[in-house]
Amino acid sequence: MTVRRLSILGVGLLGGSMGLAARRVWPACRVVGYGHRQSSLDRALALGAIDEAFTDAPRAVDGADLVVLCTPVGTFESLLTSIAPTLASGAIVTDVGSTKRSVVTAAERILPAGVRFVGSHPMSGSEKRGVEFSRADLFQGATCVVTPTPRTDPDALRDVEQFWRALGMNLRTLSPDDHDRLLADVSHLPHVLAAALVTMQDDSGLDVCGKGFIDATRIASGDGALWSDILIDNRANLRASVERVKQALDHAVTLIEADNPEALQAWLNSAARRRDALLERRAGGSETARNEAVSKGQGPVTPV
Amino acid sequence: MTVRRLSILGVGLLGGSMGLAARRVWPACRVVGYGHRQSSLDRALALGAIDEAFTDAPRAVDGADLVVLCTPVGTFESLLTSIAPTLASGAIVTDVGSTKRSVVTAAERILPAGVRFVGSHPMSGSEKRGVEFSRADLFQGATCVVTPTPRTDPDALRDVEQFWRALGMNLRTLSPDDHDRLLADVSHLPHVLAAALVTMQDDSGLDVCGKGFIDATRIASGDGALWSDILIDNRANLRASVERVKQALDHAVTLIEADNPEALQAWLNSAARRRDALLERRAGGSETARNEAVSKGQGPVTPV
């Protein structure tokens, strides 16, 4: 797939990085950005992340062969409704949302025949937010999940996969339902746990917390508006994930109260081995995991 | 306090770093190490972390004016019993354990009159384990909690505080009970949560996990033997902490299911603000917190 006119709806860190990367991969590609703040669009233009800017979404998708939704999950349905009449026949639409069932369902309902939708979740995080932190290599080496359904056009799926691969991503395929169920466990639940851990502390506890607490709660510093969209959208799976972690906690308490160090050690060591195996598998991927996998060779974490 | 003969029982990362730091602060101090593996002691000698090595604890404390227990929490009681007859009258004994009530109670029961005990918890963590990773500056800028009781000798308390301060630590004072209750919330509970999060996942979930999961579960890679001692020793507080985090999770689920983005955002943002305030307060302290506080100026975490 050669993208001639790429429309990026929402030019923040992800959208801006996508523009920089696309212009590098396809120098002839025209990158169009939509945003509701002119100031962000001006920064994106100045950084060379986009060639044209619109504060009107329908105009931003006019003539585009690939449209990528990069706004928060909760805005997708109204955004799809607003751009549907303007999308060119044959255009492909995808997204970067952290939940997939709702956007895939909405797209299949709202978009006209001839416009082809493929759900995507490029998992390229960063501490930073805003177009000014865009990097052409943000997607490099990270995982992107695509979520086709029986109604997904196979050519569009292949083109979208090729698009993410061209940006350096490793592809995974899941159904929208499997994606949302698994992400509830590995991403949305950890976020809720981190927020719960922080809010339950009193000041005297925070005064004596160590590096372990700081790391375990890093994700709790995320943007509340962005995350409340995600958690509400995936609430059914998340409720099940919360129940499962409560059961795991009860299991741990049972082991601890049994005063049986061997059984508790076995459980703790199985967690440590499982996480270490995960780091090994990811060592070719993200920088964090690679660095940590290297330092893991020097031994496990000391309690503080 | 000028330490003339310092006895370090357990020469791993903490014990070795203590030896290096003490020899720098008090060049005339004789540092004696005890360990059950001659190979670790040989490495400690070669690194200059200790001057003399013993695989026999009573001999290692003979003539010491300051003795520091640096072995795992579960070994303290038998170690105190074995060294009690050999300790010099006037000697001060302290420790580096992650729980305090049990060791303080055991020391006050076991140690002879004339030997003075002060409980300590220097919170100097590292990814690494073993004397070969010792650093003279490991304690620099970190927090040390001392846990005096009504039976603690005021001069010994002052001397122990001075010892940790000479190693660069910031002192906090808590009762043993308050220490164990607060540490259950900020250290022991996060460890159990991280292990629960890892063990509850299936392989397909781990295959699509992102940086957030990796960070949130880092502490789960810790040594199971070391941690099972801590968790069992502090089980009563830990059970209460687990109940409180389950209540916080239930509260989050209620907000999520109410489909009220504003209330959920407010809760998530209160967690984010609370954690950010914690990073600000710690910015003068650990390198992790300082680095993160700097990068926080660039905006919050993007979901992946």
Looking at the domain assignment, is residue A186 inside a domain? yes
Residue A223 has pLDDT above 90, yes or no: no
Mean pLDDT, range A119-147, rounded to an integer: 89
Residue A221 has pLDDT above 70, yes or no: yes
pLDDT at A2: 79
Residues 6+ positions from B287 with CB-CB distance below 8 Å: none
The closest CB to that of B271, out of A220, A286, A288, belongs to A220
In chain B, residues 223-252 whose CB comes closer than 8 Å to chain A: 223-232, 235, 238-239, 242, 244-246, 248-252
Are residues A258 and A161 both part of a single domain?
no
Are residues B164 and B278 both part of a single domain?
no
pLDDT at A173: 97
pLDDT at A225: 87
Are residues A20 and A160 both part of a single domain?
yes
Please provide residue B116's backbone torsions phi and psi, each rounded to the nearest 5 degrees: -110, 125
Please give the single-letter amino acid code of residue A284: G
- Cα A83 to Cα B269: distance, rounded to the nearest angstrom: 32
pLDDT at B300: 37
In chain A, residues 98-157 whose CB comes closer than 8 Å to chain B: 98, 123-130, 133, 142-143, 145
Are residues B165 and B257 both part of a single domain?
no
CB contacts, 8 Å: B296 with chain A? 127, 221
Are residues A182 and A164 both part of a single domain?
no
Query: pLDDT for A32-82, tens place per residue?
Result: 999 999 999 999 999 999 999 999 999 999 999 999 999 999 999 999 999
Confidence of residue A297 (pLDDT cuts 50, 70, 90): very low
pLDDT at B239: 98
CA B122 to chain centre: 5
CB contacts, 8 Å: A207 with chain B? 172, 281
pLDDT at B158: 98
Looking at the domain assignment, is residue B103 inside a domain? yes
Are residues B98 and B39 both part of a single domain?
yes
Are residues B264 and B194 both part of a single domain?
yes
Looking at the domain assignment, is residue A105 inside a domain? yes
Q: Are B10 and B34 in contact (CB under 8 A)?
A: yes
pLDDT at A289: 52
How many angstroms away from the CA of B220 is the closest CA of chain A?
5
Are residues A152 and A216 both part of a single domain?
no
Looking at the domain assignment, is residue B303 inside a domain? no
Residue A83 has pLDDT above 60, yes or no: yes
CA B261 to chain centre: 39
Query: pLDDT for A250-292, tens place per residue?
Result: 999 999 999 788 999 999 999 999 999 999 887 654 445 545 5
User: CATH number, domain at B187?
Assistant: 1.10.3660.10
Looking at the domain assignment, is residue A301 inside a domain? no
Looking at the domain assignment, is residue A302 inside a domain? no
Are residues B46 and B150 both part of a single domain?
yes
pLDDT at B169: 97
In chain B, residues 49-78 whose CB comes closer than 8 Å to chain A: 74
Number of domains in chain A: 2
Please give the single-letter amino acid code of residue A67: V
Q: Which domain holds residue B44?
A: 5-174
pLDDT at A260: 83
Are residues A21 and A115 both part of a single domain?
yes
Residue that is last in its domain, among B156, B174, B192: B174
DSSP H or E segment with residue A242: helix A235-257
The closest CB to that of B125, out of A126, A210, A288, belongs to A210
pLDDT at B284: 54
pLDDT at A304: 43
pLDDT at B294: 45
A300 touching B, CB under 8 A?
Answer: yes
pLDDT at B93: 98
CA B253 to chain centre: 33
Between residues A170 and A304, which one has the greater pLDDT? Answer: A170
Query: pLDDT for A180-213, tens place per residue?
Result: 999 999 999 999 999 999 999 999 999 999 889 9
Looking at the domain assignment, is residue A303 inside a domain? no
CA A261 to chain centre: 39
The Cα-based distances of A170 to A127, B268, B303 in angstroms read: 21, 31, 18
pLDDT at A48: 97
Residue A300 has pLDDT above 50, yes or no: no
User: CATH number, domain at A120?
Assistant: 3.40.50.720
A212–B125 CB contact, under 8 Å: yes
pLDDT at A127: 57
How many angstroms away from the CA of B103 is the closest CA of chain A?
16
Q: What percent of chain B has pLDDT over 70?
A: 91
Are residues A126 and A208 both part of a single domain?
no
Residue that is last in its domain, among A144, A174, A204: A174
Residues 6+ positions from A33 with CB-CB distance below 8 Å: A7, A8, A11, A15, A19, A41, A44, A45, A49, A50, A52, A53, A54, A60
Average pLDDT, chain A: 91
Check if the interface score ipTM surpasses 0.90.
no
Residue that is last in its domain, among A174, A197, A230: A174
Q: Kindly give the parts of chain B with pLDDT less than 50.
A: 285-287, 290, 294-302, 304
